[in-house]
Copies of this chain bind each other. A is one copy, B any other.
Amino acid sequence: MTTTILGLGLIGGSLAKDLRAKGLASRLIGVDSNPAHAAQALALQLVDEVLPLEEALRESLLILVATPVNSLTALLPAILDQIRPGQTVIDLGSTKGPVLQSVAAHPGRARFVAAHPMAGTEYSGPAAARSDLFAGKCCVLCNAADSAPDAVALAEQVFTGLGMQIVHLDGQAHDLHVAYVSHISHIASFALALTVLEKERAENRIFELASGGFSSTVRLAKSNADTWIPIFEQNRDHVLDVLDEFIQTVSRFRTLLIKRDFQTFDQLIRQANDIRRIID
């Protein structure tokens, strides 16, 4: 199946690698508004060719949109304006509310499937693309009842073909869930990195002692602002709710330290240990 990938960064590029490796696309067309990224993706052989958007849309049965989420609300309606019956458009954005709203009343709505493969790294751009990024992870499909059954079936075929488990959620529930399990982790990491980097100005040897635990906790602070600012813009309300809960919980630890209430502190650590049930 001739497939276009719009946005040849970490997600689009990794998708290209896997689609090709698993025989899920016969011909891969790349589109990227950044000429340097387009050239790099070609040089890395992520895609067979790079075409202008209009031409790529004419040639492809499947269009995968992996651009930053701020571009999607204008881009998706424009793509739906141009496609024929039988073509399917799938986005891979990390937030879903504004995206779903932007196409809700579009006559071509049924050809669109809103997807969020829950996979990534802290790196970005075509060079960050890697094989098997998606295997074993979960892919959320949102408001699939508004998409044509064959379009949903194609999306499920693609993502299960990458080794992903499909989860169905409505867009609001998705955005709330990712605020908890993804967006807040990034803010915690950014804040942690800034706190220690600020201290480094006065104590320039502060990082000498950093080991695996620190690296693990601040890894996400390497994440790209161009990707994340649009996510925080679009999911602002949910992120604020979760951030308030997080600040309250951190502040509770502060109060317990001030009062030297290590018995309650101990209980909270044991409660937090329940996370062992969730992560390996």
Query: Looking at A205, A220, A225, which has the most chain B CB atoms within 10 Å of its CB?
Result: A225
A278 vs B225: C-alpha distance in the bound complex, in angstroms? 18
B-binding segment of A25-33, A41-49, A143-151, A183-191: A183-191
Asked whether any CB of chain B lies closer than 8 Å to the CB of A21, the reply is no
A144 vs B219: C-alpha distance in the bound complex, in angstroms? 33
Assess the A222–B276 pair: CB atoms within 8 A: yes
Assess the A209–B182 pair: CB atoms within 8 A: yes
For this complex, into which size category does the number of interface residues on chain A fall?
35 or more
- Complex contacts, A246 vs chain B, CB 8 Å: 191-192, 195, 250
Asked whether any CB of chain B lies closer than 8 Å to the CB of A221, the reply is yes
A140 vs B197: C-alpha distance in the bound complex, in angstroms? 21
Closest chain B CB from A225 CB (angstroms):
4
Closest chain B CB from A130 CB (angstroms):
12
A254 vs B240: C-alpha distance in the bound complex, in angstroms? 7
Asked whether any CB of chain B lies closer than 8 Å to the CB of A83, the reply is no
Q: Which of A106-165 contact B (CB under 8 A)?
A: 118-122, 137-138, 140
**Count of identical protomers in the assembly:** 2
Assess the A279–B194 pair: CB atoms within 8 A: no
Assess the A254–B247 pair: CB atoms within 8 A: yes
Query: Looking at A203, A213, A222, which has the most chain B CB atoms within 10 Å of its CB?
Result: A213
B-binding segment of A3-11, A12-20, A74-82, A172-180: A172-180
Assess the A253–B187 pair: CB atoms within 8 A: yes
- Complex contacts, A209 vs chain B, CB 8 Å: 118, 138, 140, 167, 174, 177-178, 181-182
Assess the A268–B194 pair: CB atoms within 8 A: yes
- Secondary structure at the A interface, as helix, strand, loop or mixed, is helix
- Complex contacts, A250 vs chain B, CB 8 Å: 187-188, 191, 243, 246-247, 250
A260 vs B240: C-alpha distance in the bound complex, in angstroms? 11
Asked whether any CB of chain B lies closer than 8 Å to the CB of A199, the reply is yes
Q: Which of B180, B193, B206 contacts A196 (CB under 8 A)?
A: B180
Instruction: List 5 A-B residue pairs with CB atoms under 8 Å apart, sorted by A's residue number.
Output: A167-B208, A177-B205, A180-B196, A188-B191, A223-B273
A contact set with B: CB distance below 8 Å: 118-122, 137-138, 140, 167, 169, 173-174, 176-178, 180-182, 184-199, 203, 205-225, 228-229, 232-233, 236, 239-240, 242-247, 249-254, 257-258, 260, 262, 265-266, 268-276, 278-280
By Cβ-Cβ distance, the 7 closest A-B pairs, closest first, are A225-B269, A185-B217, A193-B275, A191-B249, A193-B272, A190-B272, A181-B210
